[in-house]
Amino acid sequence: MRLTTKGRYAVTAMLDLAYHSEKRPVTLTDIAKRQQISLSYLEQLFARLRRAGMVEGVRGPGGGYQLSRDASQINIAEIIIAVDETIDSTRCGGKANCQNNQPCLTHDLWLGLSEQIRDYLASISLQDVLQRKNVRLIAERQDKQASGVQGIDMLLRQETPI
């Protein structure tokens, strides 16, 4: 499986969206602020999420993104697949042509692992994660920080421009 920060960003953004989009669409600008992900990068990720049918974009003022399904119907694995294309551990993408068009020594091993990871992540929905106490606490903290009440860490983190 390819678990890069790309996939992590996507899951984080989707969680943020699920948490905030009960009523109105959420703008990427807001998500960018709260989760500290660059806006342009978020745009790229959401383009894929939209093509995968997981979110819908609403243009114009008051617009933003919203989940196109209930948070209980979106699992973590599909989010990662949507942005990362593959969730495969094998080198060949399951085609078993890793070594000179023949499977390599470890082919089956990685195949088993892929399955393991996919099953695990597919068994967890956005809602499952949101229901965790810790997650709700963190989300509340982020809301406060993003709205201006910055913690000391936030301030420390700002680098002095040259």
Least Å distance between CB 116 and DNA?
Answer: 20
Q: Which of 83, 78, 81, 76 is nearest to 135 (CA)?
A: 76
Is 116 among the residues that bind DNA (CB under 7 A)?
no
Nearer to DNA by Cβ, of 63 and 112: the residue is 63
Nearer to its own copies by Cβ, of 155 and 162: the residue is 155
Nearer to its own copies by Cβ, of 39 and 154: the residue is 154
Applying CB under 7 A, which of residues 33, 52, 58, 111 lies at the interface with DNA? 58
Is 59 among the residues that bind DNA (CB under 7 A)?
yes
Nearer to its own copies by Cβ, of 43 and 120: the residue is 120
Q: Taking a C-beta distance cutoff of 8 angstroms, is the pair 54, 79 a contact?
A: yes
What does the DSSP assignment read for the chain?
----HHHHHHHHHHHHHHHH-SSS-B-HHHHHHHHT--HHHHHHHHHHHHHTTSEEEE-STT-EEEESS-GGG-BHHHHHHHHHS----SSSTTSS-TBTTB--TTHHHHHHHHHHHHHHHHT-BHHHHHTSHHHHHHHHHHHHHHTT---HHHHHHPPPP-
Binding region for its own copies (CB under 8 A): 1-3, 5, 8, 11-12, 15-16, 35-36, 76, 89, 91, 99-110, 113, 116-117, 120-121, 124, 129, 132, 134-135, 138-139, 141-142, 145, 151, 153-154, 157
Binding region for DNA (CB under 7 A): 2, 4-6, 9, 25, 27-29, 37-41, 43-44, 46-47, 50, 57-65, 84
